[in-house]
Structure 1
Amino acid sequence: MQSIVSDSYAVHFDTIAFEQLNSCLKSNNYSTIFILVDENTHELCLPRFMSEISGEYNFEIVEIESGEVNKTIDTCVGVWEALSELGADRKSLLINLGGGVLTDLGGFVASTFKRGIDFINVPTTLLSMVDASVGGKTGVDLGPLKNQVGVINQPVMVLIVSDFLETLEERQIVSGFAEMLKHGLIRNEDYWEALKKVGSLNELKNHILPSVELKNKIVLQDPTEQNIRKILNYGHTLGHAIESYFLENENKETLLHGEAIAIGMITEGYLSHKLTGLSKDQLKDIKDTFLKYYSKITFSDKDISDILELLKYDKKNSHGNINFVLLKKIGETQTDVIISPELFKEAFAYYME
């Protein structure tokens, strides 16, 4: 499978990924190579990863607890302290082996430790392969608020090994699938239609490369999210608020990222129908498709009010306005749309009806 090359790094797949990794380790003479894992990737992915290393190097394993709830500055402090105690210097390398939480946090740790050391991302979930693998966004949450602290900084390389998907439960696979469907919605109707026909994990693996290519093309045009890169936020304004609300509310079962974003894409699809021309038939197609894969959630009036209150913390806000990315039609977007508050409750009502 071909590699995807951006301005400053490349995404390598499967066999080529390990060839490129071994070449990188051989040529860079890193003082120490740290591998950041969680309890799941330590057990399920690290042995396979280490078996592909050729050469003798000084490795140190650092483990954090899995889950969005641990994507915090406190966890970063623990990793920074571990790096310091284990003698990391500016010629050290951090390899982040895990899902989006771990690669986001690990990238931020590497970007800030001693003002920046090299890091390599090895995403092990579908979500991290098609979303967190490209673009250089790193960071952590601030309480329940998503990705409030971070920097944009590129890894040395990204290694996508599709075999790691075999370690995931189905719920995690389906969560990642939401971001792939989003790529079709914002940029390529044919891709959207193709994904709707996927019937197995092996078929899904064949769509990882085009999904990464699609996101990479957008990021290359706008690395710091000043214009076109904003379209990747479709479904994420309401989706992130929903995810944060369920994360902080002890009476709610925590939603995975893709599960919350799926709700965001339906509700923001409704806003698109009302404001930017998305047809009724395409709106129905979006809703029907997501509800095929994601269980419907019931929201009380209080739930909705509390979720909407969280919108004021969205990273895309400017000058006191909450800015949405909406669809003109499947494959075509409009950015920086400001929504009248009364439409939000209509959107949730449409989702639940």
Structure 2
Amino acid sequence: MDSITYKDCKIHFKEECYLAINKHLKDKNFSKIFILVDENTHAKCLPVFLEKLDANTVIEIIEIESGEVNKNIDTCVGVWNSLSDLDADRKSLMINIGGGVITDLGGFVACTFKRGISYVNVPTTLLSMVDASVGGKTGVDLGHLKNQIGVISDPDLVLIDPNFLNTLPSNQMRSGLAEMLKHGLISDESYWNKFQDLTKLSLADLDELIYQSVVIKKNVVDEDPFEDGLRKTLNFGHTLGHAIESYFLSNPNKSTLLHGEAIVIGMILACYISSEISGFPMELTNDIKELFVNYYGKVNIDNTEYSPIIELLKYDKKNNHGNINFVLLESIGKPKIDCKVEDRIIINAFDFYIS
């Protein structure tokens, strides 16, 4: 697989990852290397990575607890303190090995420590391979509100080794697949059509599908790095999806949803709203709902919960001038940004999902 370049960042795949990182370490002569992991990637991924790393530089391991609940400023403070205690300087390198929590938080820590040190992302989940690690978005949650604090700043390298997917449970694989489905819906009908029988996808299929997803996101980010227009399309399903994810995260009576599980619901709702507002065929909306529900199941959302979820929409990052802006579809591969949606249509969308 050819490596991909966007702006000053290079994305490498499979064995090329290790050739690239070793050359980078030799060329840059970093003073120290700091590797951020959680307890899972420390045990399952770090030994594999270190075995292929050719470095004479001092390496320090910093471990944080896994899970979205730890993606916050308090965790950042702990990592910043560790970097300071271990004598990190501006010529240090941070390598983030993990899923979206690690790459988002680790990137933010690196971009802000001593006003910015170099960092490399090594995504180990499907979600982080096709989404979180690519595009330079870094950051953390503010309480239960998703990704409210952060900066856009690219890593030196992104290293995508699909072998790490062998360490993932099936629910994490499904979570990542949701973002790939989104890429198909917003940009490429032929890519979308490859997912019509999700039960037949194998790890061998995923290599090429991951590559195509990264190319789709890279092309969007190249054209709109700071989300002024086209990049907003990557938020399809995320306006309501993030609100649902935040609601479940903050409600002690609810089981926490994985990111992709919430985004699947958000995409079903967004397709229904698209049918009501932007001419997306209702037949396709029904097909998409059936495909998603058959593969992901249906999450129980009571109609008394619609209002508090809708209330959370005001924190969505696409909003401006007090308006809540949705990404909708006119057809597969033809998204429409900055759409205003009345609450009654959102409520009807929830009714459609739970029916």
**Contact 1:282/1:329, CA 8 A, preserved across alignment:** no
Question: Corresponding residue for 2:26?
Answer: 26
| Shift in Å, 1:300 | 1.4
Question: Corresponding residue for 1:305?
Answer: 307
Alignment partner of 2:15: what SS? helix
Question: Corresponding residue for 2:56?
Answer: 56
| Shift in Å, 1:174 | 0.4
Amino acid paired to 2:67:
G
Stretches of structure 1 that go unaligned for 5 or more consecutive residues are none
Question: Corresponding residue for 2:212?
Answer: 210
Amino acid paired to 1:56:
N
Change (3 A) 1:112 1:55: closer
**Contact 1:282/1:330, CA 8 A, preserved across alignment:** no
| Shift in Å, 1:206 | 2.4
Task: Say which is worse superposed, 301-310 or 79-88, in terms of deviation.
Answer: 301-310
Question: Corresponding residue for 1:330?
Answer: 332
Q: TM-score, normalised by structure 1?
A: 0.99
Question: Corresponding residue for 2:115?
Answer: 115
Out of 237, 240, 252, the residue aligned to residue 238 of structure 1 is 240
Alignment partner of 1:88: what SS? coil
Number of residue-to-residue matches in the alignment: 353
Out of 206, 222, 226, the residue aligned to residue 220 of structure 1 is 222
Q: Deviations over 1:296-341 (max 9, x none)?
A: 0121122111111111111111011000000001111110000011
Question: Corresponding residue for 2:265?
Answer: 263
| Shift in Å, 1:132 | 1.0
Amino acid paired to 1:141:
D
Out of 279, 282, 301, the residue aligned to residue 281 of structure 2 is 279
What is the aligned-residue identity percentage? 58
Q: Distance in 1 between matches of 2:133 and 2:196?
A: 23
Q: Distance in 2 between matches of 1:234 and 1:286?
A: 14
**Contact 1:9/1:154, CA 8 A, preserved across alignment:** yes
**Contact 2:104/2:133, CA 8 A, preserved across alignment:** no
| Shift in Å, 1:238 | 0.1
Q: Do residues 146 (structure 1) and 146 (structure 2) align?
A: yes
Alignment partner of 1:36: what SS? strand
Q: Distance in 1 between matches of 2:86 and 2:68?
A: 26
**Contact 1:122/1:160, CA 8 A, preserved across alignment:** yes
Moved over 3 A (4+): none
| Shift in Å, 1:205 | 2.6
**Contact 1:36/1:64, CA 8 A, preserved across alignment:** yes
Q: Distance in 1 between matches of 2:55 and 2:319?
A: 48
Amino acid paired to 2:190:
D
1:181-220 equivalent positions in 2, closer than 5 A: 181-198=181-198, 199=200, 200-220=202-222
| Shift in Å, 1:196 | 2.2
| Shift in Å, 1:203 | 1.5
1:83-98 equivalent positions in 2, closer than 5 A: 83-98=83-98
Question: Corresponding residue for 2:39?
Answer: 39
Q: Deviations over 1:61-119 (max 9, x none)?
A: 00000000000000000000000000000000000000001100000000000000000
Q: TM-score, normalised by structure 2?
A: 0.98
